[in-house]
Amino acid sequence: MKKLNFYLFVLSCIFLCSCQQDEMLTTNLQGRNDISVGNIVTLKSGIKVRKNGDKYIFGRDMILSPKQLKALDETGSIAGNITGELERNVSLNPVTNLPKNYDDLVQTRNMGIYPTPYNLWAMVRFVYDSNLTSTQRGYIKQALLELQSKTNLRFYNATGQPTRDPVYGIDYPYINFKSIGKSDVSYSYVGRIGGKQDVSLANFAFDNASLGNYGVIIHEICHAVGMLHEQSRPDRDNYVTINWNNLTDSGKEQFEKQGSNYFYRGDYDYASVMGYGSFTTSISVVNDIFKPMYTKKDGSYLYQGNTVSDLDRMWINYLYLPYVARSDVYSELDTVVYDGNNRQLTEQERLQLQAQLNNGNPNPPAGGRIPNEF
């Protein structure tokens, strides 16, 4: 398995960090929602992020939660200095992503933090924002189905449903897919943040999808399930050469490395949907759009994948399980379950795992499934 960026939740509730150095960039030339808008800010750890309004953005398209920003500021890693075993999170209710255990909920409220140690999802709860056209919704649906067919990720469409638990008064974590119109960047948060988190898709993401390439939408969804950029691997300099001379300050910010708490297995994955291509048309990122931002060590070019690669799948399949939406507390697994090496479990293995998740009971109660159409 390659990079297993595992983001453990930090314990602090302290919000925004103190930032040391602000540097204004020139106003963007195109007068649109360009990524040169905002300031490049150097954090205490030396990592550069971009501040746009009240948002801090890492590596071009990842919006940092306050906890992640604080961890990045202090430790150089959005996971902070916490270490722990990698394991699947099986403590959440699949549909709501709230803890199954009432005691955990009580503790959560007392402590004021989200209780699960990891920022993974059970099922990925999402809604379609009302600003999406039906065509755009269709493209997002295709991207979701693509991910479901190749990985253990499962998505739960909660459009029009409550966003807050009526009993406990806690907001459900969920993705809000929305359109942001003309922009040269689409955005996402990294991992499950808690409450509503936007996946903001620019026109070009849908334009690509209209040509059959769902790569941008899949890329942003993969951020939301916890993945980082391939080119931010700490060992990336063994595999790629950054063309620093061609990068603007804003461009350099896209090639910050993750310094610590960064799990991965395997070599650099040139086919990852999470890796940038060598070229960009964004004049705020490079001085010359006809020269690459970076290349492979042999000088050849990289191209961003349009779907999850085998190694992307291994990252996801190692950490996620394919749940079925149910109204009861039984954790039912879908018919196809992959292990961390992308091998499909036998039916016997699947039932064993399902029993393990349900106090030894391999048989879901009848009638508990709830509709889940995209």
Backbone angles phi, psi at 171, to 5 degrees: -70, 135
Angle between helices 215-224 and 203-210 (to 10 degrees): 130
Q: How many residues bind Zn ion (CB under 5 A)?
A: 1
Judged by CB under 5 A, the stretch of 14-22, 55-63, 85-93, 361-369 that binds Zn ion is 55-63
Q: 187 has which bridge partners? A: 200
**Using rule CB under 5 A, residue 332 touches Zn ion:** no
Q: Count how many Cα atoms sit within 13 Å of the Cα of residue 364 in the half-sphere of its side chain.
A: 22
> Could you write out the three-class secondary structure of 314-348?
HHHHHHCCCECCECCCCCCECCCCECCCCCECCHH
Considering the complex, state which of residue 73 and residue 220 has its C-beta at the smaller distance from Zn ion.
Answer: 220
Site string for Zn ion, 60-79 (x = CB under 5 A): -x------------------
Q: Give the shortest CB-223-to-Zn ion separation in angstroms.
A: 5
d(CA 34, CA 371): 40
Considering the complex, state which of residue 34 and residue 61 has its C-beta at the smaller distance from Zn ion.
Answer: 61
Q: Which residues are catalytic?
A: 220
Q: Give the shortest CB-247-to-Zn ion separation in angstroms.
A: 16
Considering the complex, state which of residue 158 and residue 227 has its C-beta at the smaller distance from Zn ion.
Answer: 227
Q: Give the shortest CB-185-to-Zn ion separation in angstroms.
A: 9
**Using rule CB under 5 A, residue 269 touches Zn ion:** no
The CA distances from residue 269 to 86, 129, 232, 299, in Å, are 21, 33, 12, 16
The CA distances from residue 358 to 49, 120, 315, 361, in Å, are 43, 20, 25, 5
Q: Give the shortest CB-228-to-Zn ion separation in angstroms.
A: 8
Considering the complex, state which of residue 61 and residue 332 has its C-beta at the smaller distance from Zn ion.
Answer: 61
Residue ranges in contact with Zn ion by CB under 5 A: 61
